[in-house]
Structure 1
Amino acid sequence: MTARFAVGATLSRSDIPVLCADLAQLLCGRPATVVVCDVGVARADVVTVEAIARLRLTARRHGSRLVVAGAGPDLLSLLDLLGLGADPGP
């Protein structure tokens, strides 16, 4: 089963716990093997990378794998640089 989750265009560090709680709620009682995280409008910055890393951890805690979708080349490069380019799975 696949779940979809979107990240907004502008993020602050204070948004990250809320995003993680929203994802946990989405996955609670409704297990998904893959969470497709749409970051198409997100900026390529450190806060977005931190959000993706923490969302990936949240997904793993619920037995799911987080896959980033819609990322631009700058964000993909930044994720690769920091070792977050591909999620090998739970």
Structure 2
Amino acid sequence: MDATKPIVLVIAGHLTPAEVPRFYEELYERLYGELAALPDDFGAAEVICEVGGLVRPNLAAVEVLARLRLDARRRGCRVRLRGAARELRLLLDLVGLGDMAL
């Protein structure tokens, strides 16, 4: 992986609370598969979550993003959102995660 290229994860569709664990697990596996491929001296990676395809952003989507951010930070990564709709940005602000949006 190129040291200047961020890891890009796509989150799209409509998430329900029941889908959060499965969806998060898929993102988690993808993220850590990408991180495991990096050399030891790589340093911090940037993770971009493309969220423009989310339909009716809700607290289930916020939960997935919060979990992803927490795990990525434990690995020294920064998570940023791209394409966040106004509704998602408002929800993120409400729970204190507004700084994730680009």
Query: So what's the TM-score if we normalise by structure 1?
Result: 0.78
Letter in 1 for 2:7: A
Q: Percent identity over the alignment?
A: 37
Distance 1:30 1:6, change over 3 A: same
Q: After the TM superposition, which of the residue ranges 20-29 and 65-74 deviates more from structure 2?
A: 20-29
Match of 2:41 in 1: none
**Where do residues 10-49 of structure 1 align in structure 2 (5 Å cutoff)?**
10-28=14-32, 29-31=36-38, 33-42=45-54, 43-49=56-62
CA contact (8 A) 1:49 1:79 kept: yes
Match of 1:73 in 2: 86
* CA distance in 2: counterparts of 1:19 and 1:63, whole angstroms: 22
Alignment root-mean-square deviation, CA: 1.9
- Unpaired segments ≥5 residues, structure 1: none
- Unpaired segments ≥5 residues, structure 2: 39-43
Q: Which protein is richer in helix relative to its size?
A: 2
Query: So what's the TM-score if we normalise by structure 2?
Result: 0.70
Per-residue CA distance 1:6-44 (angstroms, 9 max, x = gap): 112111223222233223322331346111111112122
The runs of 4+ residues in structure 1 deviating greater than 3 Å are none
Match of 2:65 in 1: 52
CA contact (8 A) 1:5 1:35 kept: yes
Letter in 2 for 1:21: E
Q: How many residues align?
A: 87
